[in-house]
Amino acid sequence: MITEKLKLQPEVLEAVVIRFVGDSGDGMQLTGTQFSDTSAMFGNDIATFPNYPSEIRAPQGSLYGVSGFQVHIGSVEVSTPGDNLDLLVAMNPAGLKTNLYALKPGHTIIVDTDAFNKKNLEKAQYDTNPLEDHSLDNYRVIQVDMTSLTKEALKNVEGLDNKAITRSKNMFALGMVYWMYGRAKEHTIDFFNKKFKTKPHLIESNTKVLNAGYYFAETLELIPNAYTISPAKMPSGTYRVIMGNTATAWGFLAAAEKSGLELFLGSYPITPATDILHEMVKHKHFGVKAFQAEDEIAGIASAIGAAFAGDLAITTTSGPGLALKGEALGLAMIMELPLVVVNVQRGGPSTGLPTKTEQSDLMQAMYGRNGESPVIVIAASTPANCFNFAFQAAKLALEHMTPVILLTDGYIANGSAPWKIQSMEELPEIKNNITKTAYENWQPYTRNEDTLARNWGIPGTPGLEHRIGGLEKDSVTGNVNQAPENHEKMTKIRAEKVKRVQNYIPEIKTEFADSGDLLVVGWGGTYGSLHSAVKQVNLEGYKNIGFAHFNYINPLPKNTEALFKRFKKILVCELNNGQFVNILRMNFNGFEFLQFNKIQGLPFGNNELLDEFKKLVK
């Protein structure tokens, strides 16, 4: 029943990477989430990466139907979901086949042997059974008849059909992994109690299977409890585990409360942005007005209407949706209304790779509108700081009277990490440009001298009645004015307004080295991968390799050029074919910007980054 092909030496680890894989209906996302939440509550730092197919239920056992969830837990700072696996839990042959490449040699595989039958092996395109043909001799394989053991554990539970029994085998695997890493199972049992409140037989069955897996691992003593991962050294405070999309939604909730404005979301469902809508609709208790529109265009149109009427207005989407919103975004831009557009980037072009990550919408965010149409573009870089950048996007939109595009991506939006909860008291003030009462000669396009933000006159306010629209406007009254000089003047004012945001955003800082041989440059969701790779290359003895990660893209921080001058080489790493690097080339002369790009719908791997850095500094 259980074989151990390699003897395991007890180890104390700083960090461990585990991947749970199985059919898309096997509950791998749930299993992974439970393990990462439990670990976070234990005090580990965590980073997670769900990887699932775009088919909701792909044919059972097929290679392309494999769904996976990777979690990286550590007693040290963990900033990526990890590269190479310490443990692979494979619920079927297809999962093993498609994920074995990532497992470190000599490390552990747990398989459900019941799933390694002729049919599944054929579907996974195995000619021979890998559990028998010695192809796994370099790994420690723990073979468990998980399906049979699950059935056995549930034989006395009433009200379960065969399907329900089979489906709970993921909890058997989770129970085993809990025991192996010294995790308590109470968090998950609490979860069952809440989730299945009205279905007590499911509470009973899931708890039984979880316990069965846990005690199975313990009592057979064949799996030594050899891994200990102590709590991470994180700044003290109150934490919770948060997903990027939830953090984005909460950033807007906080911004609405801080600014004293009501929050409006106009949105249309699109992967991987929909979870922001799902989160916002829950919060009617805060008066959130979340409107699911008939399409992407109506999503942004309703948000523009709400912005005109004085709400903090948001619209959320992903790449193809941003393309549809382009014309309306230009309207918001020329009307100079505060509006936040969230683009949770996915692989493109067109429908592309809906469930995979990419950073290929940067140029679209910058230039995807007709005419001279600059908007503020900022990017979040971790699941937790989606909160801060959503808050900041709202603050910039309201204070500068302009649309702001907030870029996140599928990787950080679906990933989760510990978030040191920020209370309202810690967050900065948000001003706005609302004219509360009319005064003589009030004009909608009179501007704040510092920011160039125009007056925001809101319907319902007596004496401020005015008309705005998509036609070029007079620089004071906002009435239609298509005179040549006026158009040039207005175009330049709108550009200058966005440029002046430089005075209100932080300077870019370097990590690891402030000058030297190589500056690694990134932006947005790649922070975790780049940060760990630069950290590691420095630990390995390569000195003078600095790291600069951009969250502010348009405008760029003021000191960007000065920073670049302090390094001999600059390497811009992006998950696209080279977009940010071209923005830098356009803005800064006299530098040779090297580029490292990956366009596979996947985050950077640690090793490929290390290789590239080392090549450049040797």
- 437-476: which residues touch other proteins (CB under 8 A)? 459-471
Q: Which of 8, 76, 421, 599 binds other proteins (CB under 8 A)?
A: 421
* Between 58 and 307, CB nearer to other proteins: 307
Would you say 14 or 496 has its CB closer to other proteins? 14
Pairing relationship of beta strands 339-345 and 312-317 according to DSSP bridges: parallel
Beta carbon nearer to other proteins, 35 or 291: 291
Q: How far is the CB of 462 from other proteins (least distance, A)?
A: 4
Q: Write out the binding residues for other proteins, residues 35-54 only, by CB under 8 A.
A: 37, 40-41, 43
Site for other proteins in 207-246 (CB under 8 A): 231, 234-241
Contacts of residue 533, defined as CB under 8 A and 6 or more positions apart, other chains included, come to: 520, 604, 606, 609, 610, 613
Task: Give the pair of three-digit tokens for residue 236.
Answer: 């003290």
Shortest distance (Å) from residue 310 CB to other proteins: 7
8 Å CB contact between 572 and 564: no
Extract the tokens encoding 322.
């941003």
Nearer to other proteins, 253 or 563 (CB): 253
Q: Could you give the C-alpha distances from 63 to 29, 112, 354, in angstroms and in order?
A: 17, 17, 18
Instruction: Identify whether the C-beta of residue 568 lies closer than 8 Å to the C-beta of residue 539.
Output: no
Query: Judged by CB, which is closer to other proteins: 427, or 513?
Result: 427
Q: Name the token pair of 198.
A: 């009205």
> By CB under 8 A, what part of segment 145-174 binds other proteins?
none
Q: Is 424 in the site for other proteins (CB under 8 A)?
A: yes
Distance from the Cα of residue 389 to its chain's centroid: 12
In the complex with other proteins, the residue whose CB is nearer, 240 or 487, is: 240
How many residues sit in the footprint of other proteins (CB under 8 A)?
71
CA distance 367 to 311: 26
Contact 347, 357 (CB under 8 A): yes
* CB closer to other proteins out of 215 and 442: 442
Torsion of CA 545, 549, 553, 555, to 10 degrees: -70
What's the closest the beta carbon of residue 101 comes to other proteins, in angstroms?
34
Range in contact with other proteins (rule: CB under 8 A) among 54-62, 82-90, 323-331, 503-511 = 323-331
Position 286 contacts other proteins (CB under 8 A):
yes
Instruction: Assess 311 for contact with other proteins (CB under 8 A).
Output: yes
* CB of 264 vs other proteins, minimal distance in Å: 6
Of 41 and 353, which has the nearer Cβ to other proteins? Answer: 41
Exactly one of 104, 201, 289, 499 binds other proteins (CB under 8 A); which one? 289
Per-residue tokens: 273: 């942005």
Distance of closest approach, residue 175 Cβ to other proteins, in angstroms: 20
Question: CB neighbours of 578 closer than 8 A, spacing ≥ 6?
Answer: 572, 595, 597
**Site for other proteins (CB under 8 A): which residue of 76, 102, 145, 187?**
187
Q: Does 309 bind other proteins (CB under 8 A)?
A: yes
End-to-end CA distance of the chain: 50
CB-CB contact of 26 with 67 (8 Å): yes
Cβ count near 508 (within 10 Å): 19
DSSP 73-119: EESS---SS-SSEEEEEESSHHHHHHHGGGEEEEEEEEEEGGG-SHH
Q: Which of 297, 353, 505, 602 binds other proteins (CB under 8 A)?
A: 297
- Region binding other proteins by CB under 8 A among candidate stretches 109-117, 297-305, 345-353, 396-404: 297-305
Q: Which stretch binds other proteins (CB under 8 A): 155-163, 325-333, 360-368, 378-386?
A: 325-333
Please report how close the Cβ of residue 286 comes to other proteins at its closest, in angstroms: 7
Phi, psi of 317 (to 5 degrees): -165, -175
Asked if residue 183 lies in contact with residue 42, where contact means CB atoms within 8 angstroms, the answer is yes
CB 376 within 8 A of CB 238: no
Shortest Cβ 610–other proteins spacing (Å): 30
Asked if 304 is part of the footprint of other proteins (rule: CB under 8 A), the reply reads yes
Query: What is the Cα 14 distance to its own chain's centre?
Result: 24
Of 599, 22, 548, whose CA–CA distance to 358 is shortest? Answer: 599
Complex with other proteins: residue 260 or 506, whichever CB lies closer: 260
- List, as one string, the DSSP characters of 52-77: --SSSSPPTT-GGGEEEEEEEEESS-
The rounded distance, in Å, linking the Cα atoms of 434 and 403 is 16
Q: Which residue's CB is nearer to other proteins, number 363 or number 471? A: 471
φ and ψ of 545, to 5 deg: -105, 115
**CB nearer to other proteins: pick between 1 and 471:** 471
Q: Which stretch binds other proteins (CB under 8 A): 164-172, 414-422, 520-528, 584-592?
A: 414-422
Q: Determine, following the binding rule CB under 8 A, whether residue 423 of this chain makes contact with other proteins.
A: yes
- Whole-Å CA distances, 113 to 1, 208, 412, 448: 9, 20, 34, 70
Beta-bridged to residue 554, according to DSSP, are 377
Tell me how far apart the alpha carbons of residues 499 and 556 are, in angstroms, rounded to a whole number: 9
Q: Which is nearer to other proteins, 89 or 277 (CB)?
A: 277
Query: What is the H or E stretch that residue 297 is in?
Result: helix 296-308
Q: Interaction with other proteins in 467-526: which residues (CB under 8 A)? A: 467-471, 479-480
Site for other proteins in 245-284 (CB under 8 A): 250, 253-254, 257, 262, 264, 266, 283-284
Give the x-and-dash track for 353-392 against other proteins (CB under 8 A).
----------------------------------------
User: In the range 330-349, which residues lie near other proteins by CB under 8 A?
Assistant: 331, 335
Report in angstroms how near the CB of residue 468 gets to other proteins at its nearest: 6
Q: Which is nearer to other proteins, 460 or 590 (CB)?
A: 460
Q: Least distance (Å) from other proteins to the CB of residue 335?
A: 8
